Amino acid sequence: MRWLRRIALSIGILIAVALAVAGNYYYRGFYKPIHHRPGLFTEPSSLTTATQERLRQKAVVQKSFLKRQGFNTSLCFLVDMQLPSGKNRFFVYDLNKDSILLSGLVAHGCGNNKFSLTPSFSNVNGSSCTSLGKYRIGSPYQGQFGWAYKLYGMDSTNDQAYNRDVVLHSYSQVPEGETDPLPICNSRGCAMVAPGFLKQLQPLIDKSKRPVLLWIFD
């Protein structure tokens, strides 16, 4: 019977180690964080021609919407969830020059899993999922993870964002540079970016006389 106890103890240790590793991956991701240097701007990642054209088309179709709804018509934020989390997929799009101004990493929601390689989408409170759709970026506030911006969903697919506490914020374990093919950590549904990247977004949001649009699409 002693050998059975030893086997059971070994299995228990292996399970504990596996859970610890999984927890580390969820909260810290699969990478070593890169510390942000003040003043360092994130260059747009090397995108395929197809992805660049996809972003251009997404931006073009929003121009009339932005004007009609009283948004900033010079720039908008586009998040392409078809791209893997380890690649830059949060884009600041310059609508005047029809080009990408900045890009950075952004986490997707974990959903019902402790960690999810690919995003699942839901508008349900407590789902921990990313919600697709257009958002109006609201007022800044000091939150659990520091400086953050309230988000107001404008579509039926994300109109519960405010009630779900889905916001734009940074997290220290989101790296400043691409990690692909390795993924980054998950959020609980928030648009979660690197601290350095949020610092680049702040003046664009704060100095804008009109609300800035954030559009998360798949």
Dump pLDDT digits (tens) for 87-132: 999 999 999 999 999 999 999 999 999 999 999 999 999 999 999 9
Q: Where are the domains of the chain?
A: 1-30, 41-217
pLDDT score, position 14: 52
Average confidence score pLDDT of the chain: 86
* Residue 123 CA neighbour count, 13 Å, CB half: 16
Confidence of residue 9 (pLDDT cuts 50, 70, 90): low
CATH 2.40.440.10: does it fit domain 41-217?
yes
- Amino acid in the structure at residue 127: S
Rg (CA), the chain: 19
